[in-house]
Chain A
Amino acid sequence: MKKMKLTLVMLLAFSMVLAACGGKSSEEGSGSSDAASGDVKTVKIFQFKTEIVDGLNELKVEFEKEHPNIKLDIQTVGGGADYGASLKTKFASGDAPDIFSNGGYAEMEMWFDNLEDLSDQPWVADLVDMAKKPMTKDGKVYGMPMNLEGWGYIYNKDLFEQAGITELPKTYSQLEDAAKKLEAIGVTPFANAYQEWWLLGNQGINPAFALQNDPDAFIKGLSDGTEKFAGNPLFEEWAKLMQLTLDHGNKNPLTTDYNTAVSLLATEKAAMMQNGNWSQTEIDAINPDLNLGFLPMPMGEDAEQNDKLNVGVPANLVINKNSPVKEEAKVFLNWLVTSDIGKEYIVKKFKFIPALSTIEATPEDMGDLGASVWEYVQAGKVLPQQAPKFPDGVTQEFANSMQAYFAGKSDVTKMLEDMQASWDSLSQ
């Protein structure tokens, strides 16, 4: 999701691998349906987190050592749309995976006919409360959250100190002051990767939704026409915040992609960037010595209301209800989060913020950013991610409306009206 370029490369590589793997897995597939003979069974996994591919493959070896009767066939395609399209193709062509990723909420509804009820699994009781929600329907749990991710403004603590910012900005005006102080020492306050639709339409917009009195009611109201974006005070505040980052940001934000923004921050040319804890590995690759932390995205002047970080579940693993090997698939999921080696990989290799209370993660494992998110989560100061509840495709449309505003093609009112139009058209 975060690395579109890598995604496309992966997609190409995948198409080649597919040719090689396709024949093999179908052979083994026919073997696995022949249950009586006690053959080795193959569990096919299809997931979209490109950054954990290596780790998963190492885990696969460990798992197969312990379970000689189960083989894993792991395939990965990153990027929201590409993953979705490939998954649909697999289901349509009768090559459905046994375990696959799902984003929860609306996406769970979409795939609901294919999902196995996992409520009776031993790990369900250990799930962190907020991680359970995206895959829960009528009190039943249909997926295993892989991890938690948090985002806000990542800031460079040393640069803040140099600029003489002693108190962390928690309101709009404090953030504006901080930006001015940073500019005074010749640092670009914000690195804006506003080319990336997910950064804008999925993540950047989150506080404006999550801070509503009742986000679910607000989203429902949008769909039945009782709520509007235009005139909603939180959305006005949010537009002001976006404008602030533009006014104090890098040149050409609309052609700046994720990697460029990361390198601006990592080389200390910029002091802040809207992003999440997943970027820790990329930042470390350029400059491992930075002192980083998270600032919430302030909307207006209420410091207490603002002091919350956006947190979401990026992906859940679900089991295909119609799979002939779903019992084996359950064994793997359980092993993944209960075996020592599985736990170790989750925190040490994948650098995940665990979604289960039984998995312990230390700040050293997760890095500065992960630890910072973990603190917010434990203090309960979180804004749950709302985007998975939106109508399909609306987050991309939001990003388009926002980019048009950033480019000076529309004003705040027009942007909010455009967003409304997208919502109305896609929620039908």
Chain B
Amino acid sequence: MNSKRTAALMQQLVYIGPALLFFGITIIIPFVMGMYYSFTNWNGVSGNVEWVGLDNFVKIFTSDRAFADSFWFTTKFTIVGVILTNLVGFFLAYFLTKKIRGRNFLRTIFFMPNVIGGLLLGFIWQFIFIKGFATLGDVTGLAFFQLPWLGDEVTGFWGIILVFVWQSSGYLMIIYIASITNVSKEVLEAAEIDGANRFQVLKNIMVPLIMPAVTVCLFLAISWSFKMFDLNLSLTKGGPYGSTESLAMNVYNEAFLNNRYGLGTAKSLIFFIVVAVITLIQVRLTKNKEVEA
């Protein structure tokens, strides 16, 4: 009996041990160290690390306007980004599961932006926004293209949103497609025979049945948009006048630009807690809505 348990333990150790070890070294230990540094005033270089207790957190919540601003920016970005990417992703999937010509080709096309890295994509779009749109504006005279793209806070915000949606909705589309093709044909047919119109089928049959996919997609979109950094860096670098600085970028700048590593890690700890709480709530909420056919 006892030897059996030991054998089982050994087995687990052999299979999970290596992964656990690497997870510990690369994730857990740095995380705990980060927690420690968030209570210090370390500058990232010097040998003396002073314990300052909750000072960093007090500072963040009482006097750090930039953190509050970037928090608000990220919140706005997340709300708009999550809704748009999921809507676009879902409807792309909805139409690309219909019998239309070239749909495999189209699926590939819409997925493509996801394969390109965020930095590269950001630079391409920066060029499009600044040079391409300006030229189009001169040629066509359309007001939309003559806006100072990325040059003020409104166009900066929507510029990043546009590229974000363009980049990530393809990925969500794939998840939705997988889920939609799994919805059983009988249920759909039954609904049609009962006289449900397209909208009713979509709302009352399709959406409830693909709720597991919605859970996953919402989760992905929320964590992506909260942690967005590369697009931000390559498109606006947080500018103009710091109006499009995301939380992740604020943390990075605090730690490496202002050389206040302790304060930066304190911010990232808050950041982690916020993302964790929000995604947990979201997963719980949407899980409740999942049904079986």
Instruction: Judge if B256 is at the interface, Cβ distance under 8 Å.
Output: yes
**How far is A80 from B44 in the complex, measured between Cα atoms in Å?**
15
- Contact partners of B152 in chain A: CB under 8 A: 254, 407
Instruction: Judge if B17 is at the interface, Cβ distance under 8 Å.
Output: no
**How far is A254 from B129 in the complex, measured between Cα atoms in Å?**
13
Say which residue of A84, A110, A113, A407 sits within 8 Å of B240 (CB atoms).
A407
**A400-B242 in contact (CB<8A):** yes
Interface size class of A (residues with CB under 8 A): 20 to 34
- A254-B151, A255-B148, A400-B239 known; A110 vs B259 contact (CB < 8 Å): yes
**How far is A81 from B65 in the complex, measured between Cα atoms in Å?**
21
**How far is A366 from B73 in the complex, measured between Cα atoms in Å?**
46
Interface residues of A in 379-428 (CB under 8 A from B): 392-393, 396-397, 399-404, 407, 409, 421, 425-426
Instruction: Judge if B40 is at the interface, Cβ distance under 8 Å.
Output: no
Instruction: Name A112's closest neighbour in chain B (CB-CB).
Output: B46
- A8-B119, A252-B148 known; A195 vs B257 contact (CB < 8 Å): no
- Contact partners of B237 in chain A: CB under 8 A: 4, 197
Instruction: Judge if A65 is at the interface, Cβ distance under 8 Å.
Output: no
- Contact partners of B148 in chain A: CB under 8 A: 252, 254-255
**A88-B256 in contact (CB<8A):** yes
- Contact partners of A111 in chain B: CB under 8 A: 45
**How far is A425 from B68 in the complex, measured between Cα atoms in Å?**
15
**B151-A392 in contact (CB<8A):** no
Interface residues of A in 80-97 (CB under 8 A from B): 80-81, 84-85, 88, 91
**A254-B240 in contact (CB<8A):** yes
**How far is A414 from B212 in the complex, measured between Cα atoms in Å?**
51
Interface residues of B in 205-260 (CB under 8 A from A): 233-234, 237, 239-242, 252-260
**How far is A401 from B45 in the complex, measured between Cα atoms in Å?**
29
Interface residues of B in 39-64 (CB under 8 A from A): 43-47, 63-64
Shortest beta-carbon distance from A114 to chain B in Å: 8
**A396-B257 in contact (CB<8A):** yes
Instruction: Name B258's closest neighbour in chain A (CB-CB).
Output: A393
Instruction: Judge if A16 is at the interface, Cβ distance under 8 Å.
Output: no
**Most chain B CB neighbours (cut-off 10 Å) among A114, A252, A401, A426:** A252
Question: Taking chain B's interface residues, is the majority helix, strand, or loop, or is none over half, making it mixed?
Answer: loop
Instruction: Judge if B125 is at the interface, Cβ distance under 8 Å.
Output: no
Instruction: Judge if B150 is at the interface, Cβ distance under 8 Å.
Output: yes
Interface residues of A in 290-343 (CB under 8 A from B): none
Instruction: Name B234's closest neighbour in chain A (CB-CB).
Output: A8
Instruction: Judge if B123 is at the interface, Cβ distance under 8 Å.
Output: yes
**B119-A85 in contact (CB<8A):** no
Instruction: Name A418's closest neighbour in chain B (CB-CB).
Output: B241
Say which residue of A195, A392, A393 sits within 8 Å of B239 (CB atoms).
A195
**B259-A404 in contact (CB<8A):** no
Number of residues in B with C-beta < 8 Å to the partner? 34
Instruction: Judge if A184 is at the interface, Cβ distance under 8 Å.
Output: no
**How far is A174 from B252 in the complex, measured between Cα atoms in Å?**
44
- A195-B239, A255-B148, A255-B151 known; A392 vs B257 contact (CB < 8 Å): yes
- Contact partners of A392 in chain B: CB under 8 A: 257-260
Shortest beta-carbon distance from B259 to chain A in Å: 4
**A393-B253 in contact (CB<8A):** yes
**B241-A393 in contact (CB<8A):** no
Instruction: Judge if B166 is at the interface, Cβ distance under 8 Å.
Output: no
Contact digits for B1-24, partner A, Cβ 8 Å, 1 yes 0 no: 000000000000000000000000
Shortest beta-carbon distance from A320 to chain B in Å: 12
Shortest beta-carbon distance from B264 to chain A in Å: 11
- Contact partners of A195 in chain B: CB under 8 A: 239-240
Instruction: Judge if B130 is at the interface, Cβ distance under 8 Å.
Output: yes
**B256-A84 in contact (CB<8A):** yes
Say which residue of A5, A91, A393 sits within 8 Å of B259 (CB atoms).
A393
**A255-B241 in contact (CB<8A):** no
**B46-A113 in contact (CB<8A):** yes
- Contact partners of B260 in chain A: CB under 8 A: 392-393
- Contact partners of B252 in chain A: CB under 8 A: 81, 85
Instruction: Judge if B77 is at the interface, Cβ distance under 8 Å.
Output: no
**A407-B259 in contact (CB<8A):** no
Instruction: Judge if A12 is at the interface, Cβ distance under 8 Å.
Output: yes
**B119-A12 in contact (CB<8A):** yes
Instruction: Name B43's closest neighbour in chain A (CB-CB).
Output: A110
**B239-A254 in contact (CB<8A):** yes
Shortest beta-carbon distance from B160 to chain A in Å: 14
**A407-B241 in contact (CB<8A):** yes
- A91-B45, A407-B240, A425-B63 known; A255 vs B149 contact (CB < 8 Å): yes
- Contact partners of B134 in chain A: CB under 8 A: 252
Give the B-binding residues of A (Cβ under 8 A): 4-5, 8, 12, 80-81, 84-85, 88, 91, 110-111, 113-114, 195, 197, 252, 254-255, 392-393, 396-397, 399-404, 407, 409, 421, 425-426
Given contacts A255-B151, A393-B258, A399-B239, 10 further A-B contacts (CB under 8 A): A5-B123, A84-B256, A110-B43, A111-B45, A197-B239, A254-B239, A393-B260, A399-B241, A401-B241, A409-B241
